[in-house]
């Protein structure tokens, strides 16, 4: 059984080294003690979600939400290169969380919620803030489940114009579109920098949005012979790029 991953409190991993004793408390400690029922002798991983992980063994459990871990090793992962960002149009219902979950498990580094013109779902006011919190919580939990030490960033929602600087600065930017002249599998990819994928809504990307993206250097590419749902296209495209760039080697 692989060691479960928990998010350490702020500052907990600063200066951590083999032999150190770290405490896990609060909601994460409660989950470890009361839900996972971890006991002394079991292995765990504590991470800050920003690339550092402390690997160790539970040495003490106190109450219902505190355990102590004796560190056996610490690993810090550099930021992956090239970096992969997915601009995800807002899907209906809970498909947004599904998209974030699977993209996180696959290895995406950042997700930008996009309020595309044809999105049925609209993030406004407290409803939008709540939806964003759900996406971020999903990324965190999926990061733990997939044993990542570096969780993806979920940015503030952006409109089409707000995306243009991101696309212009990217080393490679692609709009997933069924009418793309070139398959993403054949695109020439840079060895470094940021790769940005744009995934449209259920209703499709408007001609005006395609024109704006093209002006920022993002060309349309087709993913395959079938048209995937907006909640799965980003995961499939990211997996393709992760394989082609060697990040899955």
Question: What pLDDT, in 10s, does the model give residues 227-240?
Answer: 889 999 999 999 99
Is residue 43 within 8 Å of residue 55, measured between CB atoms? yes
From 30, 54, 76, give the residue that closes a domain.
Answer: 76
63 and 112 in a common domain: no
117 and 68 in a common domain: no
| DSSP of 68-88 | EEEEEEEEEPPPPSSEEEEEE
Judged against a pLDDT cut of 70, whether residue 129 lies above it is answered with: yes
216 and 129 in a common domain: yes
Question: What pLDDT, in 10s, does the model give residues 61-79?
Answer: 999 999 999 999 999 999 9
What range defines the domain where residue 208 resides? 83-245
Question: What pLDDT, in 10s, does the model give residues 13-59?
Answer: 999 999 999 999 999 999 999 999 999 999 999 999 999 999 999 99
From 76, 93, 117, give the residue that closes a domain.
Answer: 76
124 and 27 in a common domain: no
pTM: 0.94
188 and 101 in a common domain: yes
Judged against a pLDDT cut of 80, whether residue 1 lies above it is answered with: no
Question: What pLDDT, in 10s, does the model give residues 154-185?
Answer: 999 999 999 999 999 999 999 999 888 899 99
């Amino acid at each position: 059984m692989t060691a479960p991953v928990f998010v350490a409190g702020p500052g907990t991993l600063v200066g951590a080294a083999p032999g150190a004793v770290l405490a896990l408390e609060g909601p994460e400690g409660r989950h470890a003690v009361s839900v996972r029922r971890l006991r002394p002798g079991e292995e765990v991983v504590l991470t800050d979600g920003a690339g550092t992980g402390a690997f160790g063994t539970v040495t003490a459990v106190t109450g219902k939400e505190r355990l102590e871990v004796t560190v056996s090793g610490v690993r810090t992962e550099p930021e992956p290169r090239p970096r992969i960002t997915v601009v995800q149009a807002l899907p209906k219902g809970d498909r947004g969380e599904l998209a974030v979950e699977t993209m996180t498990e696959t290895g995406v580094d950042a997700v930008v919620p996009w309020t595309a013109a044809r999105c049925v779902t609209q993030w406004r006011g407290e409803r939008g803030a709540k939806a964003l919190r759900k996406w971020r919580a999903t990324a965190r939990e999926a990061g733990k489940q997939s044993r990542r030490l570096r969780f993806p960033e979920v940015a503030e929602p952006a409109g089409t114009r707000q995306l243009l600087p991101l696309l212009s600065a990217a080393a490679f930017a692609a709009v997933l579109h069924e009418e793309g002249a070139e398959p993403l599998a054949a695109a020439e990819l840079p060895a470094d920098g940021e790769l940005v994928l744009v995934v449209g809504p259920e209703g499709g990307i408007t001609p005006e949005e395609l024109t704006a993206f093209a002006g920022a250097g993002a060309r349309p590419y087709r993913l395959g012979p079938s048209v995937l749902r907006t909640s799965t296209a980003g995961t499939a495209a990211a997996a393709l790029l992760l394989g082609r760039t060697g990040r899955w080697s």
